[in-house]
Amino acid sequence: MSEAVLSVENLSLRYRVPGGTVAALRNVSLAVRQGEVLGIAGESGCGKSTLAAAMIDLMGANAEVTSGEVRLNGRDILALSPAERRRLRGREIAMVFQDPMTAFSPVLTVGAQLVDFQFNLDGVPGREKWVRARDMLARVGLSDPELAMGRFPHELSGGMRQRAAIAAALLMRPAVLIADEPTTALDVTMEAQIVHLLRELQADYRCAIVIVTHHLGVIAELCDRVAVMYAGVVVEEAPVDALYHDPRHPYTRALLACDPARIEAATGRLPAIGGRLPDLSNLPPGCAFAARCGIATDRCRATPPPCVALGPGRSALCHEVTP
Ligand SMILES: Nc1ncnc2c1ncn2[C@@H]1O[C@H](COP(=O)(O)OP(=O)(O)O)[C@@H](O)[C@H]1O
Ligand SMILES: [Mg+2]
């Protein structure tokens, strides 16, 4: 198997908040190889965006890494100087956010910004950057790319804006594209189109993609492997087919049971996993999922669960799972 392009090793991160800290990531280890699409799933508040931000070194000012490394092509990016980190961003790793307006300034045209995004391409004349930008807009499916170049971001529809944001990320030809809920703000049709586009682009550019989503349908469509997060830890990691056909962690099972795509339309109501996420400022001593888990024992409530290897690329963090 090829080397990991991006890997996270034993990463723990907390946020400082008034009166304490929030344990947003605890000993997270994950890797993504060239050409691979890794999905990160889990309910809201599980630490997915924190992990994505840590991967591209865009954590908030109150975030504190307490252990671990983020390795991009072998280098620990958290140990680099701020200038070195900025150089990597865009050139080797790029990010697409849920709200495409985050990627753009409202006061400049899309075209001017797509040209600026290529600041890392030393020696490429401005005219050529403009052509690259226009061609990339065509590639991501804007029907009149020349016209779109002259528009302001708010003059594009939500779906078109997200396509333009993806174009912006790809213009740097990054080795890794991180996408945090890139389809969550879109309607179902638009979501399907963006997923289709990402799949095509991945085939064309062979970049690694890390996609964060609470939508399991998106994961099934797009990903090779999935990491399921709960309360700041990866509770299960598996190839995508294995995860869907034979989920092992009780949390993964509960998530799949709530997936709207798997539920009879006739029930007309979305089930949710009973109970709530634990307080990340005051975690229980044992398994963080124990309070909501149907098979939890006293041991689960008292002792942190072990990581159980379940075969190639498969593991689950659970006392009750057996290999
Ligand atoms: N800047 C921040 N300051 C304090 N707490 C934060 C901050 N960002 C996220 N959190 C908290 O960290 C936890 C993980 O959040 P997040 O990574 O956004 O999860 P997800 O993307 O899975 O919804 C949540 O409890 C959230 O409230
Ligand atoms: Mg998030």
Residue nearest to atom 6 of ligand 1 (CA): 15
Any domain includes 269: yes
Locate 161 and state its tokens.
Answer: 């804006």
Q: What is the largest CA-CA distance in the chain?
A: 67
Nearest residue CA, atom 16 of ligand 1? 47
Q: What is the pLDDT of residue 65?
A: 96
Q: What is the number of the ligand 1 atom nearest to the C-alpha of 51? A: 17
In a domain, 137, yes or no: no
Distance CA 275, CA 261 (A): 22
Question: What is the rounded CA–CA span in Å between residue 165 and residue 47?
Answer: 23
> Do 222 and 229 meet the contact criterion of CB atoms below 8 Å apart?
no
Q: Is residue 14 within 8 Å of residue 24, measured between CB atoms? A: yes
Q: Which ligand minimizes its atom distance to the CA of 64? A: 1
Establish if 105 belongs to a structural domain: no
**Residue 184: alpha-carbon gap to chain centroid:** 12
Domain count, the chain: 1
With respect to residue 34, please indicate whether it lies within any of the assigned structural domains.
yes
d(CA 38, CA 29): 13
Nearest CA to ligand 1 atom 12: 24
With beta carbons less than 8 A apart as the criterion, state whether 236 and 315 touch: yes
Question: Which atom of ligand 1 is the closest one to the Cα of 44?
Answer: 23
Residue 74 domain-assigned? yes
pLDDT of the residue at 264: 47
Place of tokens 């630490």: 47
* Cut 0.75: pTM above it: yes
Distance from the alpha carbon of residue 47 to the mean position of ligand 2, in angstroms: 7
Instruction: Please name the residue that has the structure tokens 């890392």.
Output: 120
pLDDT score of 266: 46
| CA dihedral sign of residues 111, 112, 113, 115 | positive
The answer to whether residue 295 sits within a structural domain is yes
Residue 270 belongs to domain with CATH number: 3.40.50.300
* Ligand whose nearest atom lies closest to the CA of 28: 1
Q: What is the pLDDT of residue 234?
A: 98
Report the separation in Å between the CA atom of 275 and the middle of ligand 1, taken as the mean of its atom positions: 19
- Note the pLDDT of residue 261: 63
- Is position 164 within any domain? no
- Count Cβ atoms below 10 Å from residue 21 Cβ, excluding itself: 14
pLDDT along the chain (323 residues), means of 10: 87 96 97 95 94 91 96 91 83 87 92 91 90 95 96 94 92 91 86 89 91 89 95 98 95 86 53 86 96 96 97 96 93
pLDDT for position 70: 96
Q: Which residue out of 12, 13, 15, 56 has the highest number of ligand 1 atoms within 8 Å of its CB and is therefore the one to mutate?
A: 15
In this predicted structure, what is the pLDDT of residue 173? 84
User: Which residues fall inside 5 Å of ion ligand 2, going by CB?
Assistant: 48-49
Strands 307-309 and 233-239: unpaired
The C-alpha atoms of residue 284 and residue 210 are separated, in whole angstroms, by: 30
- What number does the ligand 1 atom closest to the CA of 277 have? 25
Provide the domain limits for residue 27: 4-92+174-317
Among residues 92, 115, 93, 90, the alpha carbon closest in space to that of 105 is found at 115
pLDDT on residue 189? 85
| 179 found inside a domain | yes
Q: What's residue 26's pLDDT?
A: 98
Quick one: which ligand is closest to 46's CA? 1
CA angle, 184 then 188 then 191, to 5°: 55
How far out from the chain centre does Cα 249 lie? 20
Instruction: Show the ligand 1 pocket: residues with CB < 6 angstroms.
Output: 15, 17, 22, 24, 42, 44-50, 60, 62, 280
Q: CA of 195: how far to CAs of 145, 162, 171, 213, in Å? A: 20, 11, 19, 12
Q: How far is the CA of 96 from the centre of ligand 1 (A)?
A: 18
